[in-house]
Amino acid sequence: MDIVRVEDLTVGYSRNIVLENISFKICKPSINVIMGPNGAGKTTLIKTLIGLLKPYKGSIEILGFDPIKEAFKVRKLTGYIPQREKIVEKLPLKVLDVVMMGILTKKDWPRIISEKDLMEAMRISKSLGIMELLDKQFHQLSVGQKQKVLLARALISNPKILILDEPFNGVDILSQHSIIEYLKNLREKFETTIIIVIHDLNPVINIAENIMILNRKIISFGKIEEVLNEEFISKAYGKGKHYFLLTEYTKLSESS
């Protein structure tokens, strides 16, 4: 069974097509990066994968489940960090409250936090280095701290698939590094499949196993050495952009 299977997917808003004829598979646990220019449909794609958007046509299977017809099952199997978090900053939410949201929303009624749930929150918080933040107000944290808290929230239910939309926006280098190391550990120890939407490839260049170049359609999807070439990057970004991206990739490859 494939982890993700997408066939002939077309998605849009108010009949405005954003993604057209998208087909791809993720067959085994891996770290997958989705990149493309602004407006390419990256966020639309991952929202459709987890059932937040209903496609005009096509089919999706997440570990064998349909994210529209079997939304709760898919939600229990996935962890998701959106690009713009909807937690209302004015609410007096402690960090621990935010972390526990990740398990509460995936429980059947009655939604009761168990001692096991609290122990799991402690374990994940310790591994991410946020134990000392648990009693603090979420809105008081730095951007990097908030991303670690949201990562803990996404991971507390032990998802099989973790999806992150622009997780490093505004995050300092040290926090980026610790998050990347944690993602690498997830992939290696727990065989978690990770999907990362990103505009800057630099932070994840050394952990990405597959890269998708997207611009309303899939330009290319495969191993990094197969995908990052002049032809595919020019198709997605336009002439001239390919030189910059390929130069950056060459620098990082030589230094790794």
Domain of 204, CATH number, reads: 3.40.50.300
Question: Residue 132 domain-assigned?
Answer: no
pLDDT of residue 88 exceeding 90, the answer is no
Residue 163, token pair as written in the block: 């999806």
pLDDT of residue 243 exceeding 70, the answer is no
Question: Residue 125 domain-assigned?
Answer: no
Q: Per DSSP, what are the bridge partners of residue 95?
A: none
The predicted-structure confidence for 192-217, as pLDDT tens digits, reads as follows 999 999 988 888 988 999 999 999 99
Residue-level pLDDT at 240: 62
Q: Using an 8 Å Cβ cutoff, are 194 and 3 in contact?
A: no
Question: Residue 130 domain-assigned?
Answer: no
Residue-level pLDDT at 106: 83
Q: What average pLDDT does this structure show over 176-193?
A: 93
Question: Residue 212 domain-assigned?
Answer: yes
Question: Residue 230 domain-assigned?
Answer: yes
What is the number of other CB atoms lying within 10 angstroms of the CB of residue 168? Answer: 22
Q: Per DSSP, what are the bridge partners of residue 6?
A: 24, 60
Question: Residue 242 domain-assigned?
Answer: yes
What is the number of other CB atoms lying within 10 angstroms of the CB of residue 141? Answer: 17
- Calpha distance 201→222 (Å, rounded): 15
Mean pLDDT score of the chain = 89
pLDDT of residue 91 exceeding 70, the answer is yes
Beta strand 217-222 with 210-215 is antiparallel
Best CA proximity match to 168, nearest among 194, 193, 137, 146: 146
Q: Say how many residues make up the chain.
A: 256
Question: Residue 178 domain-assigned?
Answer: yes
Residue 15, token pair as written in the block: 């009949």
Where is average pLDDT lowest: 29-38, 51-60, 111-120? Answer: 111-120
Number of structural domains in the chain: 1
Q: Is the pTM of this model over 0.85?
A: yes
Question: Residue 100 domain-assigned?
Answer: no
Q: Which domain holds residue 48?
A: 4-90+161-255
